[in-house]
Amino acid sequence: MKLVRVNLGPRAYDIEVASGQLAQSASFFQARHPGRHAVLICDANVRAPYGEPLAAALSKNGYRCNLLAVPAGEATKCTAQAEMLWNSLLECRTDRKSVVIAVGGGVVGDLAGFVAATFGRGLAFFQVPTTLLAQVDSSVGGKVGINLPAAKNMVGSFWQPTGVVIDLAVLQSLPRREYVSGLAEVVKYGMILDATFFEYLESVVPQLLARDEVVLERVVARCCELKAQVVEQDEREESGLRAVLNYGHTFCHAIETVSGYGRFLHGEAVAIGMVQASQLAENLNRIEQSLTMRQLNLLQALELPTTVAGLDPQQLLAAMQHDKKVEHGKLRFVLPTRMGHVELVSGVSPEVVLEVLQS
């Protein structure tokens, strides 16, 4: 078992990384939140295997529990589902001492976290991430929100969880495509913050693909540590430091939006987006081609897509204008300088971006 602390003063919290502990985790919640009413929010796939057992364990430990399920998939991160959940919380007699527990992937975590942040002007919430992507990224750091049809994650908040319970055993039931998608955000951490970690990932590709739990414990805990270090220094993405976590995401979000939410999984679009951002850095003479090749090789070894065809470059460029890093109408990109280091760069001309999108 590994414990990662996110040191955020009054909003500090623990991330527990272990295996098989989920059904016995009532004490984790009890120790951190005094309430006796829990609303568990999951999606239709996660409900029976993980939502119901956790609700049963909490009920046994004296909680009044409600279990709400939303449809699975990216399209669920929308205003209609948020409204449905607000109304359901009302029906469940949720008050300010109740706690929301998000059980599922990043879609459930972002949506349930947003609903928790807004209902009654803010309820405590826990994250119980059940996808690799959610375990290494979305459950940590407090970005919660929903999509608008033309802009990914455009409505949301910074709302930190009260704690995060990561059970690695649940990853065994994840469909292969969803599992592999999470590996893209893992590779991202190496690229942006930790060259040694990137090298380690290159050395454990077969173990990663085989979901080896010893390797996974190390990898998931390291990603959480790295994210915690960034979030501790720039919780609300004000200084620019937190933007490093957005490497590849200007391209990624444009791809997800223009192709229609759900056609590409988030991690797949992150993989393509990182390669495109790296190509952009190359075209601006900021890096050597070998750095792009190294990312490409690892992403491909991990069975991730690295190119996209059939999307209109002009439409992608237009979608990028909704990126939250845009300042005074101008795009800013997170670009690599060397392995383990990226920078937020302003003043990139749309023509150079188009070149990458057309190549």
Ligand X SMILES: O=C(O)C(=O)C[C@@H](O)[C@H](O)[C@H](O)COP(=O)(O)O
Q: Rule CB under 6 A: which residues touch ligand X?
A: 137, 141, 143, 153, 185, 242, 245-246, 249, 324
* CA 288 to chain CA centroid, nearest Å: 29
Please tell me which residue in 33, 188, 246, 332 is annotated as part of the active site: 246
Q: Are strands 13-18 and 37-43 parallel, antiparallel or unpaired?
A: unpaired
Q: What is the DSSP letter of 104?
A: E
* One-letter amino acid of 299: L
User: Is 351 in the active site?
Assistant: no
Please tell me which residue in 266, 324, 325, 332 is annotated as part of the active site: 266
- How many whole angstroms separate alpha carbon 187 and alpha carbon 194? 10
Is 182:135 a contact under the CB 8 Å cutoff?
Answer: yes
Using CB under 6 A as the binding rule, whether residue 137 contacts ligand NAD is answered as yes
Half-sphere exposure of 291 (CA within 13 A, CB side): 25
Please tell me which residue in 33, 77, 222, 249 is annotated as part of the active site: 249
Residue (of 247, 229, 237) closest to 143 by Cα position: 237
Binding string, residues 65-104; x marks residues near ligand NAD by CB under 6 A: -------xxx--x--------------------------x
Q: How far is the CB of 165 from ligand X (least distance, A)?
A: 19
Tell me whether residue 107 or residue 165 sits nearer to ligand NAD (CB atom). Answer: 107
User: Is 227 in the active site?
Assistant: yes
- How many whole angstroms separate alpha carbon 281 and alpha carbon 346? 12
* Partner that binds at residue 117, options ligand NAD, ligand X, none, CB closer than 5 to 8 Å by kind: none
User: Is 237 in the active site?
Assistant: yes
Tokens read off for 22? 């989920």
Can you tell me which of 33, 55, 82, 105 binds ligand NAD, judged by CB under 6 A?
A: 105
Q: Is 37 annotated as a binding residue?
A: no
Can you tell me which of 130, 257, 292, 295 binds ligand NAD, judged by CB under 6 A?
A: 130
* Partner that binds at residue 127, options ligand X, ligand NAD, none, CB closer than 5 to 8 Å by kind: none
Is 107:262 a contact under the CB 8 Å cutoff?
Answer: no
**Site size with ligand NAD, rule: CB under 6 A:** 30
- How many whole angstroms separate alpha carbon 61 and alpha carbon 64? 9
Tell me whether residue 66 or residue 139 sits nearer to ligand NAD (CB atom). Answer: 139
* Partner that binds at residue 74, options ligand X, ligand NAD, none, CB closer than 5 to 8 Å by kind: ligand NAD
Tell me whether residue 228 or residue 287 sits nearer to ligand NAD (CB atom). Answer: 228
Using CB under 6 A as the binding rule, whether residue 110 contacts ligand NAD is answered as yes
* Number of residues written out for the chain: 359
Using CB under 6 A as the binding rule, whether residue 161 contacts ligand NAD is answered as no
User: Is 177 in the active site?
Assistant: no
Q: Is 328 annotated as a binding residue?
A: no
Q: How far is the CB of 351 from ligand NAD (least distance, A)?
A: 28
Burial classification of residue 16, based on how many CB atoms lie within 10 Å of its CB (0-12 exposed, 13-18 middle, 19 or more buried): middle
* Partner that binds at residue 242, options ligand NAD, ligand X, none, CB closer than 5 to 8 Å by kind: ligand X
Using CB under 6 A as the binding rule, whether residue 173 contacts ligand NAD is answered as yes
Is 215:207 a contact under the CB 8 Å cutoff?
Answer: yes
Q: Is 248 annotated as a binding residue?
A: no
- How many whole angstroms separate alpha carbon 104 and alpha carbon 65? 17
Q: What does the CA dihedral 177, 295, 141, 109 come to, rounded to 10 degrees?
A: -10
Tell me whether residue 104 or residue 282 sits nearer to ligand NAD (CB atom). Answer: 104
Q: Are strands 341-346 and 332-338 parallel, antiparallel or unpaired?
A: antiparallel
User: Is 74 in the active site?
Assistant: no
Q: Are strands 99-104 and 37-43 parallel, antiparallel or unpaired?
A: parallel
- How many whole angstroms separate alpha carbon 323 and alpha carbon 243? 12
Cβ neighbors of 348 (< 8 A, separation 6 or more) are 280, 284, 331, 332, 333
Residues in contact with ligand NAD by the rule CB under 6 A: 43, 45-46, 72-74, 77, 104-108, 110, 130-131, 133-134, 137-138, 141, 143, 153, 170, 173-174, 178, 181, 265-267
Q: Annotated binding site for NAD(+): which residue ranges? A: 106-110, 130-131, 143, 152
Q: Annotated binding site for Zn(2+): which residue ranges? A: 185, 249, 266
Catalytic residues: 121, 143, 185, 227, 237, 242, 246, 249, 253, 266
